[in-house]
């Protein structure tokens, strides 16, 4: 017998604002029953033969979603709405255990503000039978779907945020039922791509920008807008001469040519940078700072292009924007592909022409507000995103998206593989909530992009270790922002090789299932993140996000399977039928992994465990001086009496052996319980290692 998971009921909104409290849904008499059955697995729901004018809010229609029976769930949305310019990096998962709790979630809880429930972009449920179900609202080139919660109901509405009539068939959402939460996300995205075409692509189909394989530095948190040629030159020279091998530099906001906070050109403030930007980029060299990046604003700047701008060759591509609360008369882009390509060719070309190798493009979600009221704002933002990505690709300029998590931008990342996954780091606060936010977001973002956890301060002793481990297991960029003269070099050594190259994971770090559905900021549970490494080694980092209490972290042998959840191409979860061992990186000890282990974590404490498969009585953990040390292991051959492995860079190595091993070249220290450390001197050269027993 098929089990209905959802009922969708049409709702026609009246008026110009969606004031759900004034609507009586029970009086609706037209209904559409859509059976999303356990047996059917996955699909896409289309609305066909649409012919409608958007209402005053730019919406085509709204439907009520009735949730199935479930144990617990996550609802993703920005906790501040799109009237706030930074909503695009505030997408956060709301944890709930009942439909009633979800309906009441706007009440204050113990973490980030949760007043906004609109702009919902993903929902996942754990079902009573142990399976999982998810909904991904879709964005096609000319319409965008999103979820909302009000009046005790969950809604899905379709928008153009424009005034022109919508005609045709529109995909509303993808859905999936699967045995694990990672497959729910993956299948939703596969279904989405089959329905909307490749406005975006899977992560494996896109190039990861080369600079972000290395350690870098960003100006923002240290200097904010107070940058100039003098202090940026000093910062670059400080990085070039630092004992830590920094390889890239990012010039963030604060340099642009503005008047009244509106854009005059893509050039510089002549008082801050009287000689332009090339004095900075000329400081690049192959051995130290090889790459430089520059901050750009998706809209030129948040308040638009100044009416008296100096880019005369672009004027034909501008149209007057509507004045708003925070911006006076200004220009925005014409709603056509030529305007978008001209604008971003100028922006990216100026960056490349001044010697920059990548751009961080910020405030992408801000564009929604600037274009509302045009014929079709969704299509305009589609054109802009696609043009930006295409031009960066053609000019061989790396692209990091920021404040772009909202689906309208996310579904248009055809070329780009990297996006900020949480809020800005702030040195004045404890940043544990952002750690949870980022990894929660990796569940739905991970199939499409790698997540960027932002900069951090290596000199902030209470959280530097915590935050550096989070970045290491994320698989994304690592870059501090504190004063080069005050940084703590020891924070970086477990993350990088001597040339600054990161030991990056094979897929984005993502929460274990229990952490997905538990609120570690409020509960007495650890936030536990898993990522796959080479040689089928799984890394699990456990974080106590609480500042006021001890929590317990439990790792079970079954957790090992989850390491395969986001690997591309997908080959299934990792087998738990193999024998494994588990190694505590900080304690430098391990044991056979037969039953769950438990570790207590003090406030803001973290732990790292590495799980490795046993082959013929051997297991390889990896470089013992690196968090993701298995990423240094290129190959392993094991038989009953011999272990042969190849390290891409030589260094101390931890292995497991059922009987004591010997080496003709290296001394071996016993760590207990069958674990051994080979004292291999660290170098940049590869090395083959042979052990016998």
What is the Cα–Cα distance from 473 to 420, expressed in whole angstroms?
A: 15
Total residues belonging to the chain: 693
Residue 81, pLDDT > 90, answer no
As a whole number, mean pLDDT of residues 127-145 equals 96
- Find, among 506, 566, 561, 498, the residue nearest to 532 by Cα: 506
Give 600's strand partners.
Answer: 552
List pLDDT tens digits, range 83-112.
556 778 889 999 999 888 887 774 444 344
Whether the Cβ atoms of residue 623 and residue 653 lie closer than 8 Å to each other: yes
pLDDT digits (tens, 9 = 90+) for 614-645: 999 999 999 999 999 999 999 999 999 999 99
What sign results for the dihedral spanned by CA atoms 390, 392, 393, 394? positive
Q: What is the average pLDDT score of the chain?
A: 91
Question: How does DSSP assign 316-363, residue by residue?
Answer: GGEEEEPPBTTB-SEEEE-SSHHHHHHHHHHHHHHHHHTT--EEEEE-
pLDDT at 104: 77
Domain 510-692 CATH assignment equals 3.40.980.10: no
Locus of tokens 């004992």: 243
Query: Is 667 a residue whose pLDDT tops 90?
Result: yes
For the chain, what is the radius of gyration of the CA atoms? 26
What secondary structure does DSSP assign to 152-172, as a single string? TEEEEEEE-SSSSPEEEEEEE
Query: Residue 182 pLDDT > 90, yes or no?
Result: yes
Do 556 and 593 touch, CB atoms closer than 8 A? no
Q: What is the dihedral of CA 417, 420, 421, 426, to 10 degrees?
A: 160
Residue 371 has pLDDT above 50, yes or no: yes
The pLDDT assigned to 524 comes to 87
Lowest pLDDT segment from 7-11, 12-16, 441-445, 562-566: 12-16
Closest of 374, 388, 297 to residue 339, by C-alpha: 388
∠ Cα 566 570 572 (to 5°): 90
Position 85 scores a pLDDT of 64
Residue 392 and residue 385: Cα distance in Å, rounded? 11
With tokens 């708003």, the residue in question is 324
Pair 175, 133: CB distance under 8 Å: yes
Instruction: Write the CB contacts of 125 (distance below 8 Å, at least 6 apart in sequence).
Output: 67, 68, 70, 71, 72, 73, 132, 133, 134
User: Treating both helix axes as pointing N-terminal to C-terminal, what angle do 337-353 and 377-394 enclose, rounded to 10 degrees?
Assistant: 40
Mean pLDDT of 590-595: 98
pLDDT band, residue 327 (cuts 50/70/90)? low
Looking at residue 328, what is its pLDDT? 67
Measured CA to CA, the distance from residue 424 to residue 86 in angstroms comes to 10
Tell the CATH topology of 205-491: TIM Barrel (3.20.20)
Mean pLDDT on 549-569: 98
The pLDDT score that the predictor gives to residue 204 is 98
- The domain segmentation of the chain, as residue ranges, is 33-197, 205-491, 510-692
Confidence of residue 262 (pLDDT cuts 50, 70, 90): very high
* DSSP summary character for residue 26: G
Task: Name residues whose C-beta falls within 8 Å of residue 26's C-beta, 6 or more positions apart in sequence.
Answer: none
Q: Is the pLDDT of residue 52 over 80?
A: yes
| Mean pLDDT, residues 5-30 | 29
Residue 115 has a pLDDT of: 63
For the segment 682-689, the average pLDDT, to the nearest whole number, is 97
Enclosing H/E stretch for 651: none
Which residue has 């993808």 as its token pair? Answer: 174
CA-CA distance, 479 to 470, in Å (whole number)? Answer: 12
Residue in the block written with tokens 């649409």:
50
Of the pLDDT bands very low, low, confident and very high (cuts 50, 70, 90), residue 22 is: very low
Least confident of 21-25, 58-62, 223-227, 369-373: 21-25
Q: How far apart (Å, rounded) are the C-alpha atoms in residues 377 and 370?
A: 9
Q: Measure the CA–CA gap between 319 and 304, rounded to whole angstroms.
A: 11
- The pLDDT, as a whole number, for residue 83 is 55
What is the rounded average pLDDT of the residues 315-327?
A: 77
Three-class SS of residue 120?
A: strand
Alpha-carbon span 600 to 607, nearest angstrom: 9
DSSP string, 404-449: --SHHHHTT-SS--EEE-SPPP-TTS--HHHHHHHHHHHHHHTTT-
CA–CA gap between residue 609 and residue 586 (Å, rounded) = 8
Residues 221 and 425: beta-carbon distance below 8 Å: yes
Helix, strand, coil distribution of the chain in percent, nearest 5 = 25, 30, 45
Residue 40's pLDDT band, with cuts at 50, 70 and 90, is low
CB-count exposure of residue 585 (10 Å: 0-12, 13-18, 19+): buried
Tokens coding 62: 């709204």
Least confidently predicted of 48-62, 363-377, 385-399, 576-590: 363-377
Residue 18's pLDDT band (boundaries 50, 70, 90)?
very low
Q: Which pLDDT score, from 0 to 100, does residue 116 have?
A: 79
Residue-level pLDDT at 31 = 31
pLDDT above 60 (res 372): yes
Query: Could you tell me the CA-to-CA distances from 103 to 15, 59, 69, 121, 192 in Å, in that order?
Result: 24, 22, 15, 17, 27
Q: Residue 547: which H helix or E strand, with range?
A: none
Mean pLDDT on 23-39: 34
Give residue 13's pLDDT band: very low, low, confident or very high (50, 70, 90): very low
Proportion of the chain above pLDDT 70, given as a percent = 91
> Which residues have C-beta within 8 Å of that of residue 271, sequence separation ≥ 6?
none
Closest CA to 628 of 566, 562, 537, 553: 537
Cα maximum dimension of the chain: 83
- Higher-pLDDT residue of 130 and 9 is 130
DSSP 43-79: EEEEEEEEEE---TTSEEEEEEEE----SEEEEEEES
How far, rounded to the nearest angstrom, does the alpha carbon of residue 147 sit from its chain's CA centroid? 20
Give the range among 158-162, 372-376, 609-613 with minimum mean pLDDT. 372-376
Has residue 3 got a pLDDT over 60?
A: no
């Amino acid at each position: 017998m098929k089990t209905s998971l959802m009922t969708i009921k049409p709702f026609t909104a009246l008026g110009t604002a969606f004031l759900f409290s004034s609507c009586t849904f029970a009086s609706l008499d037209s209904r559409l029953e859509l059976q999303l059955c356990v047996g059917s697995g996955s699909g896409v729901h289309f609305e066909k033969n649409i012919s409608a004018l958007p209402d005053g809010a730019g919406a085509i229609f709204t439907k009520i979603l009735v949730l199935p029976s479930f144990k617990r769930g996550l609802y993703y949305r920005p906790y501040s709405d799109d009237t706030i310019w930074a909503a695009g990096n505030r997408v956060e998962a709301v944890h709930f255990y009942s439909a009633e709790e979800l309906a009441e979630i706007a009440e204050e809880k113990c973490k980030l503000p949760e007043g906004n429930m609109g702009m919902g972009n993903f929902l996942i449920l754990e079902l009573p039978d142990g399976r999982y179900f998810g909904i991904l609202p879709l964005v096609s080139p000319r319409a965008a779907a999103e979820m909302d919660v009000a009046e005790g109901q969950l809604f899905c509405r379709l928008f153009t945020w424009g005034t022109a009539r919508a005609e045709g068939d529109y995909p509303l959402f993808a859905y999936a039922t699967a045995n694990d939460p990672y497959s729910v996300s993956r299948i939703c995205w596969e279904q989405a791509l089959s329905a909307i075409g490749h406005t975006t692509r899977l992560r494996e189909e896109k190039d990861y920008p080369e600079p972000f394989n290395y350690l870098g530095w960003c100006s923002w948190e240290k200097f904010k807008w107070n940058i100039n040629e003098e202090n940026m030159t000093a910062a670059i020279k400080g990085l070039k001469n630092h004992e830590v091998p920094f390889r890239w530099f990012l010039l963030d906001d604060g340099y642009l040519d503005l008047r009244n906070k509106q854009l005059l050109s893509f050039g510089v403030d002549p008082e801050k940078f009287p000689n332009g930007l090339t004095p900075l980029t000329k400081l690049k060299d192959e051995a130290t700072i090889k790459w430089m990046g520059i901050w750009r604003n998706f809209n030129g700047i948040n308040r638009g292009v100044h009416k008296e701008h100096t880019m005369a060759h672009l004027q034909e591509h501008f149209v007057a924007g509507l004045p708003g609360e925070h911006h006076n008369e200004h220009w925005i882009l014409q709603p056509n592909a030529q305007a978008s390509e001209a604008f971003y060719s100028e922006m990216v070309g100026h960056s490349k022409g001044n010697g920059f190798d990548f751009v961080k493009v910020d405030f992408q979600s801000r564009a929604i507000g600037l274009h509302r009221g045009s014929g079709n704002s969704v299509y305009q933002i589609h054109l802009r995103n696609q043009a930006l990505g295409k031009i960066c690709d053609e000019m061989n300029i790396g692209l990091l998206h920021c404040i772009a998590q909202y689906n309208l931008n996310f579904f248009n990342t055809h070329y780009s593989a990297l996006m900020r996954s949480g809020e800005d780091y702030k040195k004045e606060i404890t940043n544990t909530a952002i750690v949870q936010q980022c990894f929660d977001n990796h569940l739905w973002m991970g199939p499409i992009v790698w997540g960027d956890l932002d900069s951090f301060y290596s000199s902030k002793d209470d959280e530097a270790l915590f935050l550096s481990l989070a970045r290491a297991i994320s698989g994304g960029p690592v870059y501090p922002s504190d004063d080069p003269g005050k940084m703590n070099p020891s924070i970086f050594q477990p993350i990088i090789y001597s040339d600054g190259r990161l030991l990056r994971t094979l897929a984005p770090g993502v929460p274990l299932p229990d952490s997905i559905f538990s609120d570690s900021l409020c509960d007495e549970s650890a936030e536990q993140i898993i990522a796959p490494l080479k040689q089928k080694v799984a890394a699990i980092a456990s974080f106590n996000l609480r500042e006021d209490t001890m929590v317990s972290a439990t790792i079970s042998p079954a957790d090992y399977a989850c390491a395969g959840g986001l690997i591309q191409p997908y080959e299934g979860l990792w087998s738990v039928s193999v024998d494994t061992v588990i190694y505590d990186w900080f304690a430098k000890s391990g044991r056979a992994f037969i039953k769950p282990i438990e570790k207590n974590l003090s406030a803001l404490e973290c732990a790292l465990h590495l799980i490795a498969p046993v082959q013929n009585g051997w297991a390889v953990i990896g470089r013992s001086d690196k968090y993701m040390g298995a990423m240094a292991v290129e190959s392993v051959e094991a038989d009953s009496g011999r272990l042969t492995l190849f390290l891409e860079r030589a260094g101390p190595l931890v292995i497991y052996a059922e009987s004591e091993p010997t080496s003709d070249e290296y001394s071996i220290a016993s760590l207990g319980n069958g674990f051994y450390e080979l004292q291999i001197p660290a170098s940049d050269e590869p090395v083959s290692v042979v052990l016998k027993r």
